[in-house]
Every structure is written in C-alpha cells, then in structure tokens.
Structure 1
Amino acid sequence: MPIQAIALDLDGTLLDTIADLASAANAMRADFQLPELAQARLESFVGGGMAQLVHRALTDDRNGQAHPELHEAGVAAFCQHYERMLADTTQPYPGVRTGLDALQALGLKLAVVTNKPYRFSLPLLERTGLAHYFDLVLGGDSLAQKKPHPLPLLHTCAQFGIAPATLLMIGDSHFDRDAAVNAGAPCLLLRYGYEDVSGLACNGHIDSLVEAVEFVKNADSLS
C-alpha cells in the first residue's frame, strides 16, 4: 500500500540528545551523592522513556529498579536539571532537515511518536527548529500506553484518517520496531541511533532520513 504518513521517533532518530540527557542524569546522581557515569554508559540506558532512564541511572543497571521513594525524588531532580539544559548541545542529525523537507514535499503528514515526556518533546522540536514539520507530536505520557504498545501509532492513524499499513514508522530501537509490528505498520530503522538495530528484522535499515524518501517512492510505485 502507498505510504500516506510518517511517524518518527525523537531521541536517536531526529535529534542527538545524548549529551544533554547524560548531563542531566549525572546532575541528578550528584544530588544523591552518586559518582558520575560515563556518557556511553548512560547512552545504553536510553530508550524506555524518562522513568526507565531514571531507574537505570540511579542504579547503574539497565535492569535496575530504584526504591520507589528514591525514584520519585530522582524523577523530580532529573526533570529540574533536564529542563535547564534541554538543548545545550542537542542538534538534528545530518540529513534530518533535508529528509523532512523531501517527505513533506511528497504531501505526507508527519508525526513525532516518542517515549520522551511531552513536556520536553515539543520544546526540543521548537528550539531545534523542527516543530513546523509536524502535524502531531505524541510524548510517552500523551496516551495511556507508550511504545512498544501499538496505541501511539494507532492513535496517529486515527488522527490522520489512514490505515496502519500506510503509516511508516522510522526509529532507532526495538521499541519503534515492536510498536510498528504490533500496529501492523511498516518500519525503517536508522543505524546511527542509540541501539544496535542490525539484528532487528524490519522493512529496511537506513543511514540517513533521506533514504526513507526512496522507500516511500518505491512503496507508492508498487501500489
């Protein structure tokens, strides 16, 4: 079926946010007299949303669960620090603006579907000059469920009045791939993000958002 709309992840897909996320996480750890963690270590904790990142950053364990009271205090501290340094170094990846221009020129509706809280997602898009591309922005707390649950993608389809098979999900993690599979939508995965996606089955692995344009054109030509 022809692609009628695109849903894009935010962190690791549109924006390279890791340095600011790591700075906020280390500032949070310092509040609890915990030593600083390497950025590469914190990068491995990204993907499941802010609450999960705080659990992992506080415990220095990808599967860690902080004590509920500590986690609550950690979330508050992280939010305070991240709000202050939200876009200190964050920038769009190479090819993002060109890719978005080309996808928009094809007449496609564009959405951001991220597990990042909405309170940070829209301001990030605004500060990096990307907000005007998107008809819809969904954060991890915008709906009752977040990726890999299909609800965010199904909600996007309902808002755009399209079938899931015509919504292309573009992301950089298993959360994006699994959400697409669960929703019955095609998916492309970017190789440059915060997770090694080389072993994940999907409709294609790409190195730049610009490559998604050819996928869309080919899908249209086969329809």
Structure 2
Amino acid sequence: MASNDLCQSTNEMGCLSAVLLDMDGTILDTTVELCSAVASAANRMVPSLSLHHSQILSDYPNLYGGPLEEFHDTIIIPHRPGLTEDEHERSTAEFIRFFLEEVKHSPPSPCFDDVLGALEGLKAKYPSLLFAVATTKPTKTAESDLTSSAVPDTLRSLLSHVQGTDAGISPKPAPDVLLRCASAIGVDIEKTIYVGDTSRDSGAGRAAGCMMTVTVQRDAGKLGDKLGAHEVISDFMGIEGAFNRWRVES
C-alpha cells in the first residue's frame, strides 16, 4: 500500500504521507551546545550572572526548545528594567548575535544513535514515506548542523526538506513551521505525524492538525511524561509501534 493512501488497517503506517521531525534534542543531541551558547551569551550581556551551562536546564526548564527571544526576555530583561521598545529590540538582537557567535565556536552536535537506523528501517518498509525537519532554528543554521562532521552523510539524504523558523514564521508552539514544511514537500498536514521532545513540539503538532504527535523521552526517569503528545517513546525505533498503538486506541 502506498504511503499516501488512507489507512486500511490499524497495523500499518500506510495512511501517512510524512513523518515531520524536530531537530534539536530529537535528531541531534544539542543540549550542551544550546545551553552553553545561551549561558555564554547571557554572561556577555550581564557578566554578574556568571551562568554555567548546566543552570539553563535546571533554572529555566520551560525555555528549552523555545525561541531565543524568550531566553532573552526571561534571563536578561530582569537585569535591564525600563527598556524602551527600541532598546528592547536592540538588546534582543544583541543576545541572538552573541548566541550565534557562540554556536559557531561550539563543536558540532552529534546525531542520536537510534535515529539513522530507525529512519532507514521505516523507509525500507514504507518506500513512499517522506521525512522532513521542522525546527526552531533558522533554515541555514539547521542545514549546517545536519551536514556537520558529527552527523552521518546518509541522514541528510533521507530528509526531503529542512524547514527552519525563518523571518515571518512564528515559533512553536505556533503551527507555522510545520505547515510551511508540509507545504514544501507537498503533503497534507493531516497525513503527517510530528516527532519532537518538548511540549512546544507537541503543541505545534496539534495546532497544525497533524494526525498524531510523538514525544521522544530518552530519559528513562521521565518516560511516562508525554508532554502533551499522543504517544511517548524512548527512542526512534519506537515510532511505528507508537503509531500502531495510537491507531488502535483511537
């Protein structure tokens, strides 16, 4: 059965046109890169903070996976009260510039071990199934990350499209980046699932109208937390099983 057909059975993924994927924390292990760059950017703007990268997750857990503007407003603005609108805009731009400078000097982030094999397995079983990335990072940065020396060359070749949150696209949990991604690869968003690792991802998937949302929770101690998604898995090998369970239960 072609992957763009409607489901005829609850035990197959034939009703899907595409699996859309978050990137940071889902495909790539970018936790250290992100937290280090945020901490360094914040320290450059407010030296008295003296943030360590480990504090980003512990002190600001709800920001992970979100836009840099929210990191700036949460961490920096309390130390810069009374900014005018123009000053706030310049401060945000400075924070983002510092962050990107820090990222450029960071070692490339590796791909999680389970990702490539799982996607290759799904592609072999469902040849018409498409894979694409919909990420918070700008497209240019995402492409660079996915083609770094730390990522197998074959991973990028499996992806039909990489869609970042570029200018004019609202960040997740808004559905914009997912809708743009689905449009780019020519599929109906209602025939896709979105795989991510944060509540912002599952929120964006639901808002976009994805058939299903999946949270990858590699921390065994948190595996029961779906973060708003329909299903939760411990690694990419569980995508098909999660889809089948959800189809049966729904």
Query: Is there any run of 5+ residues in structure 2 with no aligned partner, and where?
Result: 1-6, 8-14
2:82 is aligned with 1:38: no
Residue matched to 2:240:
213
- Going from structure 1 to structure 2, the CA distance change for 1:51 and 1:217 (only over 3 Å counts) comes to same
The alpha-carbon deviation at position 80 of structure 1 amounts to: 1.3
Report the count of equivalent residues: 215
The alpha-carbon deviation at position 121 of structure 1 amounts to: 0.9
Residue matched to 1:183:
208
Greater relative contact order (CA < 8 Å, ≥ 6 in sequence): 1
The alpha-carbon deviation at position 126 of structure 1 amounts to: 0.4
Q: CA RMSD in A?
A: 2.9
- Going from structure 1 to structure 2, the CA distance change for 1:30 and 1:215 (only over 3 Å counts) comes to closer
CA contact (8 A) 1:99 1:213 kept: no
In 1: Cα distance, 2:116 partner to 2:77 partner = 37
More divergent stretch after superposition (103-112 vs 159-168): 159-168
TM-score by length of 1: 0.82
After TM superposition, the structure 1 = structure 2 runs for residues 10-159 of structure 1, keeping only pairs within 5 Å, are 10-32=23-45, 33-43=47-57, 44=61, 45-58=63-76, 67-85=88-106, 88=107, 90-105=109-124, 106-107=126-127, 108-127=129-148, 128-129=151-152, 130-141=155-166, 144-159=169-184
The alpha-carbon deviation at position 218 of structure 1 amounts to: 6.8
The alpha-carbon deviation at position 169 of structure 1 amounts to: 0.3
Query: Is there any run of 5+ residues in structure 1 with no aligned partner, and where?
Result: none
User: Could you say which structure has the larger radius of gyration?
Assistant: 2
In 2: Cα distance, 1:117 partner to 1:165 partner = 24
CA deviation digits over 1:5-36, x for unaligned, max 9?
11000111111111112222232233232433
The alpha-carbon deviation at position 178 of structure 1 amounts to: 1.3
TM-score by length of 2: 0.74
CA contact (8 A) 1:171 1:190 kept: yes
